[in-house]
Structure 1
Amino acid sequence: MEIRRLTDAEFDANIALAEYAFLYKLSEEKKEERRARFADEPVWGAFEDGELCAKLALIPLEVYVHGRRVKMGGIGGVATWPEKRRKGMVTLLLRRALEEMKNQGQLLSYLHPFSVAFYRKYGWELFTDNKNYSIPVDKLPVRKNVPGRVVRNIREIEVLKSVYDRVIPRYNGAMTRSRSWWENRVMSGIPYTAVYYNEAGEPEAYVLYEIENRVWITEEIIWLNETARQGMWDFIVNHDSKLKEVQLKLPVDDPMSLLLSDPRVKQEIEPYFMGRIVDAEAFIRAYPFAEADAPSRFILQIEDRDAPWNEGVWRWTISPDGQGKLEPVHTPGDTGHEAEERISVSIGILTAMLLGYRRPPDLQRFGLMETSEAVAKKLDVLIPARTPYLPDYF
């Protein structure tokens, strides 16, 4: 078996496998759009006797972690011909992808799972949820008639991007977006848009949406401040005569329940994307821990069978100014710390903790991280609180 990146000549074989695996048929126009991105979004394949048997896309991206930009490798389009399944090809592809991401300096990796349990085996873990609302039209909030104005059908990328770029660093794990990502991923297939402008004429909120069978479906809604949020809501409520329901997909910390006069509407927490640390030593070095009065020291044992450079025992120090460092402990007894300062955790749970999906005391209490209660509380102070959110899909 050969694991390698596909060449331009193998683009059609990649499309044929994707169409069969995901039960769709691309138009010639869509094929050419994907062909144009083929060089920038590498596809890796498993080959037997020169035949493509399984593949995945490895997309170079960038995300925010506590306001800092971090390189991320997005994995998508994982597929295998049915007669080639259960031969370990995806395992080999994922391990090769991790090696490639490490070589490219991508500290994190994301994917949208067909099965959470399947990808947990390889070190990916849930790190973000969505909160989905279905609000009947008679329970929509009352209009506030805030200053400013809403303009429909604003499709200029720079206008939308200017709002997104100011808002999204507030969240952990959200992507930075290039212009091409906006054009090819975000805006593709979006029928309607609207932008809220403040009294000075500056864009401060937008919504991407569709209306189908009298249901307003929000694809994405972003606002900079409360006035902008309310201005966007006034626009949505103005559609009440033609709607029976409004559907929203929001971050889990959204306060909508407190803002509705009757919050007894359908609300659903949807586990969304999975992530994993690719290079633990480099990620800890880049991570902005909270400042403290004194340095913190732990012995960290990481379980990561698919990225062996992470596996093992590390001396973990965090300086008073929040700079973290991992150093390998080559001699098992050479830890220099008492037992209560030890932490044992899988790479997936370590990822979920550092991206803010779950706090250390919860992970310790439910047995997902082996350490003492005191160490878990100490970590809780050192890891900044910020809500994970990812409005994108790939």
Structure 2
Amino acid sequence: MLAGKHILLIIGGGIAAFKSLDLIRRLRERGAEVTPVLTAAGSEFVTPLSVSALAGKPVFQALFDLNDEAEMGHIQLSRVADLVVVAPATADLMAKMAQGLANDLASTLLLATDTPVLIAPAMNVRMWQHPATQRNIETLMADGIGMVGPNAGDMACGEFGPGRMAEPLEIVANIEARLADGPLRGKRILVTSGPTHEPIDPVRYIANRSSGAQGAALGRALAALGAHVVFVTGPADVPPPEGVEVIRVQTALQMLEAVQGALPADAAIFAAAVADWRVSSASDRKLKKSKDGLPELSFAENPDILKTVSRMPEGRPGLVIGFAAETNDVVDNATAKRARKGCDWILANDVSPETGIMGGDENAVTLISDAGAEVWQRMGKDAVARKLAARIAQALG
């Protein structure tokens, strides 16, 4: 799939740099040409010789290297690739990108390029969670920078949490999706998926039975057609698809914030089963049984994410699609929901327990649009996703 593609790989400084060696090998196995750029900090973890040997070409390191500049100037180097990949993307490199700094070869290339950029962050969990890093991520996403990972797990420093660089095959899958030739290439599509968890106290929450299977299938199908998929997911049972940009959330409020931060987009598909209500004053301590009786919970209405995006006065995606999970009068209720929310399409389905659809492997939907109600036969969720992705490609074409 990557035959003839040219990847400019920038290797930042961090223990995860050792994964970049395997990444180069995996990319070349698939036919890609890899031009490596090694930062000064990166060379503390992997040697230029090992990087060059795996890439099959010289390593670029210095901004003011007369030989390198004579062979290929840094401006040309930044623009001849099909994709610029930064792996690992350290907190320092991300900060430079967000602020437009250019004081070494890597940051200069990133500022000078007009080629799409994909970053694979890697850092200590506290650095990842720091407000400054989170602000930089928001800026980079708003600038259209793609991101894969980071994953949660054990750190080399002994801590645990988000900050581990995505595995090489995860990064390869993301690269393949971004460079895929298909009718949705160049399109940015937002997908929400899974349930939301609304906390009652630190150990209890309100949720629903959504597995996230349909949303994950949609992400795969859209990426297979070449779309850049931003996948905002609640705590789903089904893992997110490879080759997409994943944003994980827990609550409806967090999902709305993530959706707004991911815009603009060419299309948005709201497949998540967002809780309608939340506990208005969730306890910060576990609620205990009491002789005074049951605790009283007061509820507040969660934001209507589909309606909020559908009725945006500016920056509304060109195509907004919702889902209507109903247990009775499916088409009538979904038609009314489409008019109430202001979205373009609604996919209605019957999630009564006897259908086995919510949490199951199959779906039976009715596509409701200006053209009326179109009934689709019951099929696997992957087949539903492929059919919907093809319709979206046709609509955005």
TM-score category of the 2 structures, normalised to the smaller one = under 0.3
In the superposition, the TM-score normalised over structure 2's length comes to 0.26
Higher relative contact order (CA 8 A, sep 6+): 1
In the superposition, the TM-score normalised over structure 1's length comes to 0.26
Q: Which has the higher strand share?
A: 1
